[in-house]
Structure 1
Amino acid sequence: MHKSSPALTLFLGLGAWLLPQGVAQAADCSAPPGPEVEWARCLLDSRNLDGADLTGADLRDASLAHAKLDRATLVRATARNVRFGYASLRGADLTEAELVRADFTRAKLEGAKLRGADLRRAQFFGADLRHADLTAARLEGADLLRAQLGGARWTDGTSICAPDSVGTCQ
């Protein structure tokens, strides 16, 4: 029987102690949609998530390009760096979602609720935000080039963008 040296035992014990505690598990990209689903870094392009409840979901660095999320609930979702390019989010509820650096290029967000959402540095190139609610949303550094904003409720909660607003709320 081989005995380990006290130094080796101490080294192995310290190594286990130094490992990060509570390391996050890999996302299960095949998990069904539901509240608090963990889809970080998942490729979910073209998925039909119409009306799905994704409250509190972890979508960091995921791709939902061309996905259908009409009337979906993404309240308080963590969705930094998510790609929503060409996705349909008509009437979706993204209240208080963290969407820093999200890409909404040409996404359809007509009537979406973005109340209190963190949209800093998000890309909305050519997106349809008509009649969206942006009350208290953080838009610092967001790119709204060619975004349709007609009828949208602006961040102050009272201003409504003119019907022909494109790129800026008039």
Structure 2
Amino acid sequence: MKRTISAVLAAALLVVSTSSAIADCTDPASPDVNWRRCYLDGRDLRNVNLQGAMLRDATFLRAKLSGADLTGVDAYRAKFFSADLTGAKLDDARLIEADLTRAVLTDASLAGADLRNARFIDANLRNADFTGARVQGTHFRNADLTGATWVDGRTCAESSIGQCN
């Protein structure tokens, strides 16, 4: 009986040790970094390459991400409250239920991004590119979409607040 229990425990430890790495919030910014559930509030991440990073449930309160490459990140339920994402590249990013309240995304690219049920409340989205993005259930209350390229390729008119006119 003890041998059976020991064998089961050894097998379980082997499975755990060979599974994907646990997030290390002190890891430097790099492509494919695992920052799941990390607090990165106020970080200066300007112009970093985070392509394909795991950012699920991470928080970036007032973080500086201008010019960052976030192509293909998984940022499900991530929080970017008041973050600066000016000129950031979020193409094909998974931002389902992400919260970008009061974030600045001027000139950002979100082409092909999955933004379902995301929140862009009071966000600055001037000249952002949403070409091909999925926006079902997305909240744009008081968001400035002036000059943004909408999902269908048309340009939003001046004074497009809360919706693309």
Q: Which residue of 2 aligns with 1:9?
A: 3
Aligned to 1:54: 50
Corresponding position of 1:114: 110
Question: Which range moved further: 28-37 or 144-153?
Answer: 28-37
Alignment of 1:29-44 (within 5 A): 29-44=25-40
Counterpart of 1:90 (choices 58, 72, 86) is 86
CA deviations over 1:74-127 (Å, ceiling 9, x no partner): 000111111101000000000001111110000000110000001111010000
* Unaligned ranges ≥5, structure 2: none
Determine which structure has more spread, i.e. the larger CA radius of gyration. Answer: 1
> Are residues 1:163 and 2:121 paired?
no
Match of 1:131 in 2: 127
TM-score after normalising by structure 1: 0.91
| Residues matched between the structures, number | 163
Q: Residue 99 of structure 1: which of 70, 77, 95 is its match?
A: 95
TM-score, length-normalised on structure 2? 0.94
Q: CA RMSD for the aligned pairs?
A: 1.3
Q: Percent identity?
A: 44
SS of equivalent residue, structure 2 residue 118: coil
